[in-house]
Amino acid sequence: MKLKSGFKIVFTGDSITDAGRMSQFYPLGNGYVKFFAELLTSAYPELSVQIFNTGISGNTVKDLKDRWDDDVLSLNPDWLIILIGINDLNRYLDGVTELSPESYERTYDELLSAAERKVRGITLITPFYISRGSYPGTRRDAVLKLLPSYTDAVRRLRVKHSAELIDLQADFENLVKKREPTAFALEPIHPNEAGHLFMAMKLLSSVELA
């Protein structure tokens, strides 16, 4: 993404993006959004941009659709960064059929179609699960088997909407070959500080100055 002063950058998604932004860590949270803002300031001190965090813990893509206009598009973002999907996957495993991979992709497609006419750039982040695997028949095993259905949907949407892609599932799969998963997350869904910092660094690497 080519940035210049005056741009608005809007992050949205679920608890990974939220990271306490509506409580003690207002307004950017205590995760990758805050780290990205700090890294961006350090790397490009001449750049003056506005950064907004609209993630809400527990959100699925359908929750995001319910608030898309009010919470996201109304901010008039130049660069929109979206991470959503792990809650869809887990609730689908729990029997919520309207959050199937097919429904996830269809609803996500609608959101991107509405956004792409109003923003300069969109970055999609794949949902991820920071784990090396688990015993067959466990919940972790079920998540890892289903996850490609959601990550592949994001990859297809990236192509359809000419968006940028941060493939965090692939990235974390590579990282946990070198270090224990607990180096990046105490449980597979929510990164720790090292995990969030890695995410922020991946985003920073995609930035250029206009």
| pLDDT of residue 133 exceeding 90 | no
- CB–CB of 101/149 below 8 Å? yes
Query: How do residues 60-107 score in pLDDT, each as one tens digit?
Result: 999 999 999 999 999 999 999 999 999 999 999 999 999 999 999 999
Query: How do residues 167-188 score in pLDDT, each as one tens digit?
Result: 999 999 999 999 999 999 999 9
Which residue in 146, 65, 74 sits closest to 108, CA to CA? 65
DSSP reduced 3-state for 70: helix
H or E element: which one contains 169? helix 168-175
Count CB-CB contacts under 10 A for residue 16: 27
**pTM of the full predicted structure?**
0.97
DSSP reduced 3-state for 4: coil
Beta bridge partners of 8: 50
Q: Let me know how long the chain is.
A: 210
User: How many Å apart are CA 149 and CA 1, to the nearest integer?
Assistant: 27
At residue 118 the predicted structure's pLDDT band, cuts being 50, 70 and 90, is very high
Which residue in 93, 170, 188 sits closest to 133, CA to CA? 188
Average pLDDT over residues 104-133: 96
Count CB-CB contacts under 10 A for residue 87: 23
User: How many Å apart are CA 51 and CA 70, to the nearest integer?
Assistant: 17
Residue type, 54: T
pLDDT computed for residue 94 by the predictor: 98
User: How many Å apart are CA 153 and CA 30, to the nearest integer?
Assistant: 28
Average pLDDT over residues 143-166: 98
User: How many Å apart are CA 195 and CA 210, to the nearest integer?
Assistant: 29
Q: Kindly state the tokens that stand for 105.
A: 């992709």
Cα Rg, the chain, nearest whole Å: 16
pLDDT computed for residue 8 by the predictor: 98
Query: How do residues 9-64 score in pLDDT, each as one tens digit?
Result: 999 999 999 999 999 999 999 999 999 999 999 999 999 999 999 999 999 999 99
What are the φ/ψ torsions at residue 127 (nearest 5 degrees)?
Answer: -60, 155
At residue 135 the predicted structure's pLDDT band, cuts being 50, 70 and 90, is confident
pLDDT computed for residue 99 by the predictor: 97
- CB–CB of 4/44 below 8 Å? no
